[in-house]
Amino acid sequence: MLAVVKYPDRAGVVLEDAPVPEYSPFEVLIKVKAVGICGSDVRIYNMIYEGKKKKFIIGHELSGEVVKWGEKVHRFHVGDRVATEICIGCAICSYCKKGLINLCDKLEEIGVTMSGGMAEYISIPARNVHRLAENISFEAATLADPLACTIRGLEMAQIRPDTWVAILGPGAMGLLATQVAKRIRRTKVVVVGTRENRLELAREFGADHTVNLNEVDPVEAVLDITDGGADYTFEAAGSSGALSQSFAMTRRNGSVVIFTVHRKIEVDMEPVIRNELTVSGSICYNYREFEIALDLLGKEKIDVAPLLQDIVPLKDAQEAFRRVIERKTVKCIIKP
């Protein structure tokens, strides 16, 4: 089968022939129908790993059809339409026992720490496989993963209706968070970014205000729009500047949730202490948030059509990565 493979000792990915994966007694073999490229795929694309690590197939935002399954798997039929969760836990650590698989001691993530689904087939534990409602397309189902991430992050801040939410970074995650905050949580939303086309999309998705930080000071603008600061700020931009701005534009006693993975960065902590902010990190999601995401997609409460405009065949995956890296597209979906 054709697969997009990451060699750990070099930047980029390689399109090559790989064997159809084996499956264990607890796994399902899926024929992949669609797989999204997300920010963490770009990070892996650019990465050169130190130490020994085997090559692996990239890709975790995927959907497809059930082909076969191991002897311990019961609830599937050939041709079932499904989407898959990224996190694979050990099942026995204290976090897994609490359902916090995303925090597992021995966490594996498909397409990140082990082979994923940017290929024609993938085998994955049955526990990670969710059936799709008939009206959810394979393409839309690839958004269940980033949508579940935003649902977890927004729940972390325990958002109340009629409050102000600021979202930094109108990428796929920020744009989905805009819709969840506005349409499900009934808040007022201001989105901060640099690209006018993405800010326009944010307005289309319900943002009450957008701020282009190339034109105005984003902190002053948000303090002004929200009359003193956002109650909840979601950092989905991935820069140290954005994190400092998130702290500075949040109301006293407000909350900041950090979505993007930050390495060592310099950040102004003064507002966190002076304004008694609550700061949380949010990573991935678990079974429940994925089910909520699929429920919202099935009930068409989230508008996904504008995020599904860029669909590329698997053989053109290199070109797709190039376009995502050059930010020519908000979301690119690969079709094996």
Smallest separation (angstroms) from Zn ion to the CB of 145: 5
Q: How far apart are CA 88 and CA 232, in angstroms?
A: 30
1, 90, 100, 308: which one binds Zn ion (CB under 5 A)? 90
Smallest separation (angstroms) from Zn ion to the CB of 36: 7
Lay out the site mask for Zn ion across 49-68 (x = CB under 5 A, - = otherwise): ------------x-------
Nearer Cβ to Zn ion (233/286): 286
Q: Does 93 bind Zn ion (CB under 5 A)?
A: yes
Burial environment of residue 50 by CB neighbours within 10 A (0 to 12, 13 to 18, 19 or more)? exposed
Q: How far apart are CA 83 and CA 138, in angstroms?
A: 8
Task: Identify the DSSP state of 110.
Answer: B
Q: How far apart are CA 20 and CA 172, in angstroms?
A: 30
Among positions 201-260, residues that touch Zn ion (CB under 5 A) are none
Nearer Cβ to Zn ion (3/248): 3
Contact 44, 97 (CB under 8 A): no
Stretch that binds Zn ion, among 14-22, 94-102, 236-244, 321-329 (CB under 5 A): 94-102
Three-state secondary-structure class, residue 323 = helix
96, 166, 221, 277: which one binds Zn ion (CB under 5 A)? 96
Smallest separation (angstroms) from Zn ion to the CB of 174: 13
Q: Does 38 bind Zn ion (CB under 5 A)?
A: yes
Smallest separation (angstroms) from Zn ion to the CB of 221: 29
Matching residue, tokens 């429940």:
288
Q: How far apart are CA 226 and CA 248, in angstroms?
A: 13
Q: Does 104 bind Zn ion (CB under 5 A)?
A: yes
Number of CB atoms found within 10 A of residue 288's CB: 13
Smallest separation (angstroms) from Zn ion to the CB of 188: 27
Gyration radius of the chain over CA positions: 20
Contacts of 100 (CB under 8 A, 6+ apart): 286
59, 89, 153, 271: which one binds Zn ion (CB under 5 A)? 89
Smallest separation (angstroms) from Zn ion to the CB of 7: 21
Total residues in contact with Zn ion, by rule CB under 5 A: 7
The residue type found at 249 is M
- List interacting residues with Zn ion (CB under 5 A): 38, 61, 89-90, 93, 96, 104
